[in-house]
Structures are given as C-alpha cells and as structure tokens.
Structure 1
Amino acid sequence: MQPLLSLLTINKADAKSVYLQLAEQLTTLIRTGTLPAGHRLPSTRKLSELLKLHRKTVIRAYDELLAQGWLESTSGSGTYVSKSLPDVKPQHLAQHTMQAINPVKTAGFTFEEETHLAREVIKVSATYHLDDGFPDARLFPLKDLSRAYRTQLLIGNPYTRLGYDDPQGSAWLREELATYLKDTRGLKVTAQNILITRGSVMGLYLACTALLKKGDIVITGAPGWAGADTNFIQAGAELIRIPVDDYGLQIEHLEQLCQLKPVRMVYVTSHHHYPTTVSLRADRRIQLLALADRYKFIVFEDDYDYDFHYENKPLLPLAGADLSGLVLYCGSFTKTISPAFRIGYLVGSEDVIKHLARLRRTIDRQGDIMLENAMAELLQNGIIQRHLRKSLRLYRQRRDLFCHLLKSELSDFLEFKIPEGGMAVWVKFSSTINLTELAQKALKRDLYFSNGVAHNSSDKKLNATRFGFASSTPQELEDCIAILKQLLKDKS
C-alpha cells in the first residue's frame, strides 16, 4: 500500500478536479505496468483514509475507470485492474534517457521535414509598417459587415442556416460574385464557374494537388512569389523560372521552353506582377493565350489586387479572353478588407470547378458560410463597391505621397518606378546597403519591412524589397520615411 501511495500526488489547489487527478494517475500506473492486470486495488474507504480525501471522491474516480474499462469490480471481492488488459512490464530507464524522451515535443515516429515548407510566419507588431502590400482595414465599413454577419446568425431556419452547406461555397455569394466579376472584369461566368476558398493560397493548393502530377513542368516568373513556388514543389512539379522585365513575363522564353518540353502550367500575376508590380503588356497577353491554346497548358492567373489600378482602367484579366477553357482565375477579398477575412475565389470551367470542390471537401468540408453570406449581402447592397471606390482614391493619394517622399528623401540610396497599381512599391537598394541589416535596425526603431531575402534566387541577390503604402496614413508614411532616412544617413 505504501509504495502505491508514494506514486499518487493530489493537489487540491489545482484547477483540475481531484477525482480526475486520481483517475489519471491510476491510469498512468496501469499503462506503465506499475499496476499489472488483475492487481487488486485498496477499497474506496481505505484509499480515501490514506489520501485524506472524501470517500465519494475516490468512488467517483473508481467509477470513471470502471466505465473506461481500466478497472473491473467483483461483487464481494473488490476492485481490480482489468484482467483483459495486456501485461506491461515496467521499464527501468536510465535517468538521462527519461529526460531525453518528451512526447509533447518530439514524436516517437520518423517523418521527413521538407525544406520548402520552412517559410517564416510573419506577424507584425511594430507601430510602423511598410508591408507586402496590404489594405488599410480601418477604411472598411466593419459595422456593415458586423450587421450583415449578425443577420446571418439570427435570421432564418437555424437547422439550414447553421448546418452543412455546399463545399463549393455559398450559392448566394457565388451568384453575387458572378455578377460582380462580369461587371468589373468582363468575365462571362455563372455561379457554377466559381469555387469559394479561404484565400488565393487555398485555390492554388487545390489546383496544384488536383491538376499536377509528379514531374509536371510549371513555369513562373523570376523574381516570383515564394508562396506559389512552395505549392508547385509540394505537388512534385519541376519548377522552371523565366525572366520578368518591365513588361511582365518574357513570353519568347516560354515559347522556347514549350518547343522543348511539355509544359503543364504557367503561373502568372498578369495585372501587377508579384513582386515587381509591372503589368503584362497587351501583346504578351495575346501571345500567352495563343501558346496555351497551341500547347494545351493551364494558365493559373493570380489576380490578387485587380481593384487597385491608378493610371487608367485596369487591363481585363486573361480569363476574360480565354476561349479554350485553359485559364484558372484566382482572386481574394484579402486585399479588399484585410488578411483576417479568409474569402477567396477560383474561377474556371464547370467541370474543373466541380472536381476541385470535391478535393476541397477532403481537407475543408466548407468555408465560413456565415461570413460568405454576409459578404454576399454587402456585394448585393453595393457596400463593397463603394468601399473600393473610396479606397482607390485614398490609396492613389498615398502612393503619390510615398513615391514623392522616396524620391525627395531617399533617392541617394535606392531606385524605383512608380507603380501603375497595387499597394506596394518595388524598391531596389544600392549595393552598398545591407538590406537585412537595415531591416533589423528599423525594427528596433518600431518600423517593419521585409529584408527582401524571399525574393532572391539561388544564383541572384536582388537587394530589393516591397514597400507597402496602402495600410498607412499619410502621417505614418512620413514617419516611416523619416526613420529610414535617419538609419541610412547614420550608415553613410
């Protein structure tokens, strides 16, 4: 009895119930073989006296283990460790070995860690930020969204409203999106051509998983987006990068590759190339679609910030001129509201969308139907459209101010071109500037920006980064430039 008592430690100050503490500790002793199958336990009266617990507490612990099958009780005989349990021999491990094993931190089985998945998760807490090109969430009519979301929660048949829905996404949102995409992008689609996702990344992941096989060739621009590259590599594709110049993807390089190898997919950010912000010129758009039709490869068009183009009307997406069903068009409300609201959409031929919806169901039964319907209401009422018109005006003003400040205050240290659209400026620093070191020093001054390493390739260091301007007010942008100017002057 005494050895058993030394193994049971009850902490009455613990938030966990005393009977659960006792039950879990007895279970551990059974699992490790300290209490073998068939071992008779002390009576509830005896154990309660020895542990100085109320007898009902011990009875409740015993009842819990009886219900779970760890114990069995024989009338008039007592309570025993279940005889049906396998024999477990207690293991006497060396002290250093016991300390090395921590199943909370380290799995007992082996697995291969893929280096391409080891991307840093960035969560910015600095007061000032020249981010990757995010919207200013302070501008969005959150009260309207809150009101619409509350309506979805409270109005209508609760069984239908709060039950399972279509993995393809809210039918209402898809109907509203079909109208919205037709009016703003010239896409002649219906709700059946749209799959609602939790952002552009999910759309890309589904397309890569469902449509690529190991060894398939995927073409993307250099520089490009590491998030897209990760999905291609994860799918087992062979990734080939071709140059991007001031007019976008160099299509002549793509044509040469098509003549040599069977290209399966081309990933393109046609409206504002990521990260450089340049637009794919009209003649290259025509050539790209012609090559896709000739060689039957998929064009994945990631149109992440179509709604923000300042110099003239936005160039219509490739998907609008696709007559062969070869373009998958992807967009997101992330750049409209904020990254916290995970609603994106994938547009394509009905059969492909249905196929991708089936795959989506295996990893995510459905999205946030409440949020999707709330967004549908805001689209139907024109609230999002009005917000975009207001944001477009303000973001253009912020772009103009920021580019003026970059030129007037920092032109000795960097160069850039004023972007026609989007929410960031592609900035190339002088070779004398250590961009990684500069970013670290800026963070100590409460200013965050990317050090640009993610845009480098194995054979080329760009010493460039994206400075997002849309999420900051004019005063905040002036403060950012002041911090940068002081750091760069101290360096020089």
Structure 2
Amino acid sequence: MNSPVFIPYQSFISIDRLSDVSVYLQISNQLINAIQRGYLPFGTKLPGTRKLSSLLEVHRNTIVSVYDELLAQGWIEIFPNKGTFVIGKEQDTTTVQTFRQNNLENYPRETGFSFKTSNILDNPFEHSDCDYIFNGGIPDIRLTQVDQYSGIYSSILKRKAHKIGQYNYDGSEFFKQNLSQYLNLSRGLPISKNNLLITRSTEMSMYIVSEILLSQDDTVLVGALSYFSVNMIFQRTGVNILTVSIDEEGINVEEVRKICEKQKIRMLYLTPHHHYPTTVTLSVKRRLELLNLSQEFGFIILEDDYDYDFHYDKSPILPLASADTKGMVVYIGSFGKLLAPGFRTGFIVAPENLMAEMRKYLGIIDRQGDILMEHVLGEMIAEGEINRYLKKSLKIYKERRNHFAALLKHHLEEFIDFKIPSGGLAFWTEWKTPVNLMQLSRNCARNNLFIPKTLLYQNQNLTAIRLGFGNFSIHEMEKAIEILSKNVKITLTKDKN
C-alpha cells in the first residue's frame, strides 16, 4: 500500500484556530474532501496519529478524534499492527506521484455539462468604492426609523409566532385588505384585496407579468428611452421590442396609433407618472387617448408606477388604471419605497381572472412569502404610520430637490439644460455641448465620484445623464456636483485636444 511519506498534508489541511468549528472537525472535513476528490486515493495508508499530529502541529488526541470521525463516517479502515487506510482498493505509486505534483483544488470552476447561456440578463449594475455615487433615483435609507419598524415587527412576531411555519405565497389577507384601501384613497384605484398580488419587488412583478402575458415573437412598445432592467426581462421572453418617441407630454400617442394600424401589438409598457429616465409626466389628454387605443386595438397597457409616492408641488395625476373600465391595464407598483429595503414590497393590480393565474406562478417562485413583514406593513397603514412618515420624508426630499437644482444651475448651467421635476428623486440633464460621457464617468471615478453607465444616454442626437439626488445629504450633493463640474471641464478640454 502507498506510503504516507509522499503526501504533503500541510498543503491541503489548513487550521483556523479562531473558528467556531472545532479543530478536529476542520481536519476531518478537509481529509474527507481530499478523499472525495481523489487526492487521497482508495487504499492510501494514512500517517499514524503521532506522525500526523506532528505534521499539523496539533495534539495527538485531536488526530485520534479525527480518525474516530472518519471511521464512524465510513471513510477509513483501521487494521491492528498495520495502520489506517482509506477504504478501497490499493493504488499503484503513479497515483501518488501525480498527487505530489498537484495541490488540492477548490470547488470546480466549470460544470461537466452544457447549458444555455444568455447575455441578455448580464448584470448591468456596477459597484464602486467611491464616497459619492449617483444613482437613478433611490431614497436615502438613513432617513428611515428602523427602530420603530423593528418594534412593530417584534410585536407581531410575538403575536403571530404560530404562523411562522406556514407557507402562504398568497400573502397576508390583513395587508392586502389595508393596501387595497390605501391604493383606493391615494391612487384612485377602485379595487378589493382580490385584485392584488403581493411580490418581493417590481422586478419579480415584471417577470410574472411577462411570463403570463407575453409569448415568443409578440410585439411590445416601449419609450425610445426606457428602463433597461424591464427591457432585459422582455428580451428574455423573446418578444420584439419597438420604441416610441418621448416628448414633453410623455409618450407619442400618434406614433402608437400608426404602429397599431400596421401590425398587431401585444403590450405597451410605460411609466406615466414620471417617465424613466426623462421624468416627464404623461398628460391627461394622452392618458385618455391611450386607454381608447388599447380598447380599439386590443393591446395591454403595462403601467409601472415606480415612484408615485414622490410628488412635491401638487397632487399627482391618477394612474391610468384608475380610469380603466375595460380591464386593459395591468398596474405594477411598490409599497414602502421610503422605508429600509427589508421593509419594502412590490404588488400587481389586475382583474381577478388574471390574478388567479398570477398566483399560480407566484406559488412556484415564492411559495413561502413573507407574511410577518406584510403584517408589519398592514399595521403601518392601519395606524397611519405610512402617511406620517411620507409627509415628513417628502419635506426633506423637496428641500434636497431644490438645493440640487440650485447647484446644477450654479455649476453646470453653461453645459446642461434641465427642468426641476415635480416629483421623483432624479433630474434629467441634457447636455448643450456633446461630451464623452464614458470618459467623464472615468474621470469622476478617479476623483471619488461614481456615475454608473446605466445613467448615461448618448447617441448622435442626444447626450444626457439621469442624476439621482435622493440618496445625498446637502453636503454630499454639494461635493458631488463640485467634482462633476470640475471633471466636465477636464473632459471637454481633452475632447478638443
């Protein structure tokens, strides 16, 4: 049988003495790993307990416990006066020589089988260690009162503990009842809890909708500038995507009509409250025209109200879904966006027959749900906590919006055009002088300001950036705009040269 002298145990057994896992189990697990991967071939003779304890610099009793563990699990045999052997047939020495030339590998880097791949779903999001980071318009989680929400959660956990183990992908009836009333009052949606599907996120909502309502080679209309993540979900479904221009009143309805007159359209996706990325609001006139067109040509309107809660100067225009009497609109939104990420949820509003099918899909991809968190959100609605927090937060975000606008005007007025948005957490900036936005982003990153490529919009007719302000304090946005302004001038100088 093979001599243990040739095997470099120190090269593949590493001991972490600060770990919560006992040393003997660490050694046992690594020896088993080596056996499973063939680096300790069947029939290999293991060192004696004194020899191995010396090699690994541990107490002999530790190795005794290791061998006891391996024996109990059936990996080794112990023969009196002969030694300890890996269970299996004796190997020749060439196996050991091969072992000597190779260190124990980590988990396999590649599969041993083929599978479908797609670049459509490649992660478009970037990350950076810069202190200042622009985004597409997300809230500042530092404003959330996590302790208060955690208190509500803890209270419900004690009162609802018996429900923790229950699967309930259909969601909390209490939350759905309160959310339906909230949406009725705040967004004019005349719905009941039977018209609601609770999801984990807007992206999950989009995925379920696309799986049920879209098929290969269907045609979907989106804005000429649209939300990249949603387009990725549509493309994965195999649909044909056509773009429609956007102006100061939102999506161009006449273009929609002309396309419908030429071919069959399955769905129109839009963000009417604040179009992503330009932030323009779809006019009331065009909303009514689109509803009429959807009934005339039979296409679905998928309405994404991603930031309905964020409005500052006047009451927001009600969703298209609030005026839909023919069941042509599927409404997607999020609840608790102002709260910490763990306290947010997504939802879909649609007629009951579509809800029945959607619940089937939700039951497959999210069977357990999060009924306790939904109870928390339901109580926050019932107690008026959401409205109080919303009112307080909007005051802060309005101040930030106004200050951000003043900074853009002071530092960048000669380079950009922009309008102060009536709501949302981002500005749409169009550049008077074309500047290489990718180069600008790289220059800013070298100066501690990160601008992701997903915020950059540039072609031969347009140079624009969507700049989120909600996540910045006053001081942070001042620093960010200062860095941006400085690097705009640097980039323009390099472009000229």
From 250, 260, 263, the counterpart of 1:261 = 263
Residue identity in the other structure for 2:310: F
Partner of 1:48: 49
How far residue 78 of structure 1 moved from its aligned partner, in angstroms, is 9.3
Residues 15, 26 of structure 2: 8 Å contact kept: no
Q: Equivalent of 1:282, from 277, 281, 284? A: 284
Counterpart for residue 486 of structure 1: 486
Given that 1:210 and 1:356 are in contact with CA atoms closer than 8 Å, whether structure 2 keeps it comes out as yes
Structure-1 separation of matches of 2:229 and 2:110: 27
Q: 1:22 to 1:469 in 2, by over 3 A?
A: closer
Q: Distance in 2 between matches of 1:285 and 1:343?
A: 27
Judge which range, 256-265 or 231-240, deviates more.
Answer: 256-265
Please tell me whether residue 320 in structure 1 is matched to residue 322 in structure 2: yes
2:144 equivalent in structure 1: 140
1:301 positional shift: 0.7
Go from structure 1 to structure 2 and tell me whether the alpha carbon gap of 1:65 and 1:354 turns closer, same or farther (over 3 Å shift). Answer: farther
Q: Select the residue among 150, 155, 179 that pairs with 2:154.
A: 150
Instruction: Summarize the alignment of residues 96-115 of structure 1 with structure 2, pairs less than 5 Å apart.
Output: 103-115=107-119
* 1:221 to partner: Cα distance: 0.6
Identical amino acids, percent of aligned pairs: 33
Give the superposition deviation at 1:249. 1.1
- Listed as ranges, the gaps of 5+ residues in structure 1 are none
For the residue of structure 2 that corresponds to 1:431, the secondary structure is coil
Q: Secondary structure at the match of 1:223?
A: coil
Choose 318-327 or 389-398, whichever is displaced more.
389-398
Pair 454,156 (structure 1): closer, same or farther in 2 beyond 3 Å:
same
Q: Which moved more, 1:47-56 or 1:433-442?
A: 47-56
1:247 maps to: 249
- Give the CA deviation at 1:477: 3.1
Aligned length: 481
Verify: 1:21 aligned to 2:23, yes or no.
Answer: no
Once superposed, what is the RMSD of the aligned Cα atoms?
3.5
Residues 394 and 55 (structure 1), Cα distance of their counterparts in 2 relative to 1, 3 Å cut: closer
Question: How many Å separate the matches in 1 of 2:263 and 2:194?
Answer: 33
* Equivalent-residue separation in structure 2 for 1:25 and 1:475 (angstroms): 55
Distance (whole Å) between structure 2 residues aligned to residue 148 and residue 74 of structure 1: 62
Residues 382-397 of structure 1 aligned to structure 2 (within 5 Å): 382-397=384-399
Q: Unaligned regions of 5+ residues in structure 2, if any?
A: none
1:369 equivalent in structure 2:
371
Matches within 5 A, 1:340-351: 341-351=343-353
d(CA) in 2 for partners of 1:486 and 1:23? 56
Contact map agreement 1:20 1:61 (CA 8 A) in 2? no
Q: Does 1:216 align with 2:218?
A: yes
**Per the alignment, in what secondary structure is the counterpart of residue 428 of structure 2?**
strand
Q: TM-score normalised to the size of structure 1? A: 0.85
Compare 22-31 and 371-380 and name the one that shifted more.
Answer: 22-31
1:263 Cα deviation after fit:
1.7
CA-to-aligned-CA distance 1:310-352 (integer Å, 9 cap, x gap): 3322111011111122211111136322545441111112232
Deviation, 1:404, is: 3.0
- Alpha carbons 1:23, 1:61 under 8 Å: kept: no
Distance 2:170 2:247 in 1: 37
Map of 1:323-472 to 2, 5 A cutoff?
323-333=325-335, 335-339=337-341, 341-451=343-453, 455-456=457-458, 462-472=462-472
CA shift, 1:489, in A, is 4.1
In structure 2, the residue corresponding to 1:353 is in which secondary structure?
helix
The superposition leaves residues 109-138 of structure 1 with CA deviations (integer Å, 9 ceiling, x where unpaired) of 333432222233334554334431112223
